[in-house]
């Protein structure tokens, strides 16, 4: 199933994208008999959210199957294509987005060549985070403020959405904790990254975490380590690889991250980027106002965002 969050009348609405159409799941839940509405956590106290669906796990799957099998029974919940405006599938994650650095060997190699150094492959996953406030959805503008950075770069990444929380999760059990997958573009201000000598600030700017277009449930991705992953800028191919090239696979990532740290439903883990980033090119090629970035991952879809230069009178 494909689950998205849409903007409707000033509200963030979870929706099912199905062959029969797009369905507002808040409306779907409302038309169900009262006895069938249990099992959706916070929805009992307010409108159904994507986080409620993720936390509901199999209940969410059952709800979506019911809609797919009986679309006419939920015709009132169908949304016309012209009314679809995507937000990030999780517009605000429960906490920071977890990210991996240096998880593709070819990306490490290009980094070494660009800076004339010889950093070995990591022995363990290397984590950092991006603030939840940086998240934007498909079609949203990426803010480019020359007062803050002049070296804005892109990184396409497969992201894992945690469905079942836990601590000290063994690699052998890790995939049972995955609700689904989405795309993250880890927008990075390279000059800030170098200036601070760590990853957080350069990867934490507002709009620096495009995510989407939706979450594809784990059951629809037979092998998350066999997906083509690519990124274009203005139609020019920049990144192209396979998720099979990841140094640390998803079970190892979850095992390492959850060691002594409780993962929660709705946590997002971006799994690293392959080679082809702008700073490693010769000459270097950074993003500028008007650039259109398209991220693609097989089985998930396309995430497209445009870089928008901030005008001096708009800077606050």
Question: Which has the closest alpha carbon to 216: 1, 47, 45?
Answer: 1
Q: What are 313's two structure tokens?
A: 């009178």
Kindly report, residue by residue over 243-275, the tens digit of the pLDDT.
Answer: 999 999 999 999 999 999 999 999 999 999 999
pLDDT per position as a tens digit, 82-124: 999 999 999 999 999 999 999 999 999 999 998 878 889 999 9
Secondary element (H or E) of residue 78 = strand 78-79
In this predicted structure, what is the pLDDT of residue 53?
97
**Residue 74 above 80 pLDDT?**
yes
Domains of the chain from N-terminus onward: 2-83 (no CATH), 97-314 (3.90.850.10)
Host H or E run for residue 242:
strand 236-242
pLDDT band with cut points at 50, 70 and 90 for residue 314: low
At residue 42, the pLDDT reads 59
Find the mean pLDDT for residues 198-224.
Answer: 97
pLDDT at 315 over 60: no
pLDDT confidence of residue 136? 99
- Per-residue pLDDT of 156-206, as tens digits, reads 999 999 999 999 999 999 999 999 999 999 999 999 988 877 789 999 999
In the predicted structure, residue 233 carries a pLDDT above the cut 90: yes
| Confidence (pLDDT) at 312 | 72
**Closest CA relative to residue 137, chosen from 99, 101, 182:** 182
Residue 228 confidence (pLDDT): 99
Q: Is the pLDDT of residue 316 over 60?
A: no
Q: What is the pLDDT of residues 4-46, one digit of tens each?
A: 999 999 999 999 999 999 999 999 999 998 777 777 865 555 6
Question: What is the rounded distance in angstroms from the CA atom of residue 232 to the CA atom of residue 304?
Answer: 10
- Using DSSP's 3-state secondary structure scheme, residue 97 falls into strand
What's the angle, vertex CA 238, arms to CA 109 and CA 298, rounded to 5? Answer: 100
Backbone angles phi, psi at 230, to 5 degrees: -150, 160
């Amino acid at each position: 199933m494909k689950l998205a969050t849409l903007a409707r009348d000033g509200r963030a609405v979870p929706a099912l994208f199905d062959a029969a159409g797009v369905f507002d799941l808040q409306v779907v839940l409302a038309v169900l008999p009262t006895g069938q509405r249990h099992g959706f956590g916070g929805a009992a106290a307010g409108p159904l959210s994507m986080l409620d669906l993720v936390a509901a796990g199999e209940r969410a799957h059952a709800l979506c199957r019911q809609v797919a099998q009986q679309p006419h029974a939920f015709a009132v919940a169908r949304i016309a294509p012209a009314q679809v405006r995507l937000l990030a599938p999780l517009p605000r994650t429960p906490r920071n987005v977890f990210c991996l650095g240096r998880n593709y060997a070819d990306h490490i190699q290009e980094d070494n060549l660009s800076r004339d150094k010889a950093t070995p492959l990591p022995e363990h996953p290397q984590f950092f985070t991006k603030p939840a406030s940086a998240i934007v959805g498909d079609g949203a503008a990426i803010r480019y403020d020359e007062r803050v950075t002049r070296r804005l770069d892109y990184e396409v990444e497969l992201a894992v959405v945690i469905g079942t929380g836990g601590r000290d999760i063994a690699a052998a059990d890790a995939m049972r904790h995955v609700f689904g997958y989405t795309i993250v573009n880890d927008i990075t201000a390279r000059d800030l990254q170098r200036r601070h000598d760590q990853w957080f600030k350069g990867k934490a700017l507002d709009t620096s975490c495009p995510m989407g277009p939706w979450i594809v449930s784990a059951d629809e991705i037979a092998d998350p380590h066999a997906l083509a992953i690519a990124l274009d800028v203005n139609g020019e191919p920049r990144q192209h690889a396979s998720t099979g090239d990841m140094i640390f696979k998803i079970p190892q990532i979850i095992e390492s991250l959850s060691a002594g740290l409780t993962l929660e439903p709705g946590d997002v883990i971006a799994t690293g980027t392959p080679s082809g980033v702008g700073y490693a090119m010769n000459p270097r090629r950074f993003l500028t106002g008007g650039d259109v970035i398209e991220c693609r991952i097989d089985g998930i879809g396309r995430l497209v965002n445009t870089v928008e230069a901030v005008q001096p009178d708009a800077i606050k």
